[in-house]
Amino acid sequence: RGDAEKFEFQAEVSRLMDIIINSLYSNKDIFLRELISNASDALDKIRFLSLTDKEILGEGDNTKLEIQLDKEKKILSIRDRGIGMTKEDLIKNLGTIAKSGTSAFVEKMQSGGDLNLIGQFGVGFYSVYLVADYVEVVSKHNDDKQYVWESKADGSFAISEDTWNEPLGRGTEIRLHVREEELVKRYSEFINFPIHLWASKEIDVEVPADETAETETSEDEEKEETDDEDSEKKPKTKTVKETTYDWELLNDVKAIWLRSPKEVTDEEYAKFYHSLAKDFSEEKPLSWSHFNAEGDVEFRAVLFVPPKAPHDLYESYYNTQKSNLKLYVRRVFISDEFDDLLPKYLSFLRGLVDSDSLPLNVSREMLQQHSSLKTIKKKLIRKALDMIRRLADEDPDESTDKTGILNEKKGQYTKFWNEFGKSIKLGIIEDATNRHRLAKLLRFESTKSDGKLTSLDQYISRMKSGQKDIFYITGTSKEQLEKSPFLEKLNKKNYEVIFFTDPVDEYLMQYLMDYEDKKFQNVSKEGLSLGKDSKSKDLKESFKDLTKWWKDALAADNVDSVKISNRLSGSPCVVVTGKYGWSANMERIMQSQTL
């Protein structure tokens, strides 16, 4: 078109589109799920705005989402009455602004990642090029005229004011010129709006029977018919199949969280999770909790532990505020970026909260301040930690489970720990109220755990009689720590020592002072006591000259003191950190951070 303005795709977006268009990925119908999810988001947005401004909706049915297929022209179109996009939105959202997920997704794809995860990287729209070679986006936002965005995925797109299509009123229609006839009606459940499909249907119609036409009735039946007096008086008809077209409702809009947990099957929860998290891997959530809170503040909630941590969970940990819970007030969707429903360390959880105790017709900012939110948050944390605790309890420790029966739940907590263990540690640091509860969930390896993960409770149950402290050592790896001279005597005396090998563990141990009345003792620090040694006083006396000479030989600033110790058995000497100083491992971490 002559008056169309041309734009280049941002470079990363262009690369992404190349990957998609050339992909041999067979599960192509994921594009439909992405488009339905975008349409649903757009409907959510306009519905939210209409809470404070009724005028915004305009006339007509405002919660519609329609899918239509023109078989001859091979055009599949998806139309919503959502918020729509202005010209500027079209330019930014569909081509010129690269989101952080764009390059992350391109990288994933280049190392053989799963295209199915596209929605999680915030670039789901481009999946249309799995099935189409030409795409038009017609959109009308309340603040602008109707525009058409179009692209053949050749590095550029064009935008024109729409003077030829039917006016949409408001909303968006995506038209896919599909390469092959592909259309699947899946993934449409749990979308909060009715989805209508313009579909063909075979129906039975009665038509006057044509006497001359060939019929398949046998002679016997004809005879019977003529014998029947009644039938002779009626006009003769026959039934034929005819194809008609009509809008067919695809999804049963039924809110899972309003049902009783007893009535919802595991499969339904898994499906619900997949649509909430836009995660369409085959993997089931590791656990979930569905409950109804009553009392001063009423709400229903469903929480899920995802099977995998998102690609950027800890990368953006300190920059993100948002929790991944969808907030509904009296069945109306409010936001999925609501701050402060859960603390940061639990932001990996997915789920939904629907409360009757919050007001509907107020701004998001006012809602954010509402006093009920504090109570909701507190209960959500408690329920979330209970759910994780249950996962840990159901996961039988292999060394004690002697039944030999294969348990489906086995290994689930180890999986959880590998994906989200760091979140539990961050929780211990950040959440003083729940510190003990979180410490119970802590897992680690030790000198006696035999390559498996073990817990503080298990450590305590194995403590030697007379042992007062819980011993641990920090470093870069278990292999490195196993060789440490600090362990010599402890191993010899059969004391168990915990290995902490994650950089976050150093910070963790500044907050975790004790557990079940037992103090934590870093075995590379001053203060290690392994019981009384009757000879220690004599030894101290007879080596006095040596220790004094040594202390003087080392420049005064370098060491605080030189002492006779009973903590070694093979090595002649070891450098110990002062009780309140940084451990050598912490020095190492701090150094690597300032470099």
Binding site members:
34, 38, 80, 85, 93, 99-101, 120-125, 172, 364
* Other residues' Cβ atoms within 10 Å of the Cβ of residue 467: 17
Residues 37-76: x where in contact with ligand ADP by CB under 6 A, - otherwise, as a string: -xx-xx----------------------------------
Among 50, 93, 547, 565, binds ligand ADP (CB under 6 A): 93
Candidate segments 77-85, 152-160, 333-341, 571-579, binder of ligand ADP by CB under 6 A: 77-85
The correct pick among 82, 310, 351, 475 for binding ligand ADP (CB under 6 A) is 82
522 near ligand ADP, judged by CB under 6 A: no
Q: Rounded to whole angstroms, how far apart are CA atoms 338 and 359? A: 15
Which of the ranges 33-41, 52-60, 143-151, 575-583 carries the binding residues for ligand ADP, by CB under 6 A? 33-41
Nearer Cβ to ligand ADP, position 173 or 395? 173
| DSSP 8-state code for residue 189 | T
Chain position carrying tokens 């299509």: 165
Q: Which residues within the stretch 544-573 sit at the binding site for ligand ADP (CB under 6 A)?
A: none
Backbone angles phi, psi at 548, to 5 degrees: -70, -45
Q: Is 447 in the site for ligand ADP (CB under 6 A)?
A: no
With respect to ligand ADP, which residue has the nearer C-beta, 105 or 486?
105
Binding positions for Mg ion, rule: CB under 5 A: 38, 124
Can you spell out the DSSP letters for 438-491? HHHT--BEETTSTTS-B-HHHHHHTPPTT--SEEEEE-S-HHHHHT-GGGHHHH
Cβ distance to Mg ion smaller for residue 123 or 301: 123
Q: Does 106 engage in binding with ligand ADP (CB under 6 A)?
A: no
CA distances from 389 to 289, 375, 432 (A): 12, 21, 18
Instruction: Specify the residue, 12 or 397, whose C-beta has the smaller distance to ligand ADP.
Output: 12
Q: Which is nearer to ligand ADP, 125 or 459 (CB)?
A: 125
Q: Residue 516 and residue 460: Cα distance in Å, rounded? A: 9
Q: Are 51 and 143 in contact (CB under 8 A)?
A: no
Question: Residue positions in the annotated binding site for ATP?
Answer: 34, 38, 80, 85, 93, 99-101, 120-125, 172, 364
Question: How many residues in the shown chain lie near ligand ADP by CB under 6 A?
Answer: 17
Considering only 172, 447, 524, 577, the residue that binds ligand ADP (CB under 6 A) is: 172
User: Cα(308)–Cα(416) distance, rounded to whole angstroms?
Assistant: 8
- From the list ligand ADP, Mg ion, none, pick the one residue 83 interacts with, judged by a Cβ distance below 5 to 8 Å according to partner type: ligand ADP
Q: What is the DSSP string of 359-428?
A: -SSS-HHHHHH-THHHHHHHHHHHHHHHHHHHHHHHS--TTT--S----TTTTHHHHHHHHHHHHHHHHH
With 0-12 / 13-18 / 19 or more C-beta atoms within 10 angstroms meaning exposed / middle / buried, residue 501 is: middle
Taking the least distance from each CB to Mg ion, the nearer of 38 and 412 is 38
**What residue 39 binds from ligand ADP, Mg ion, none (CB within 5 to 8 A, per partner kind)?**
ligand ADP
Residue 176 Cβ, how far from ligand ADP at the closest point, in Å?
Answer: 13
Cβ-based nearer residue to ligand ADP, 34 or 431: 34
**With contact defined as beta carbons under 8 Å apart, do 327 and 353 qualify?**
yes
The per-type count for the chain, helices as H runs and strands as E runs, is 18, 19
The encoded tokens of residue 471 equal: 């011993």
Least spacing, CB of residue 368 vs ligand ADP, in Å: 22
- Is 486 in contact with 524 (CB distance < 8 Å)? yes
Member of 67, 83, 387, 388 binding ligand ADP (CB under 6 A): 83
* Smaller CB separation from Mg ion, 101 or 124: 124
Cα–Cα distance between 436 and 49 in angstroms, integer? 42
User: Which residues bind to ligand ADP, rule: CB under 6 A?
Assistant: 34, 38-39, 41-42, 80, 82-85, 93-94, 122-125, 172
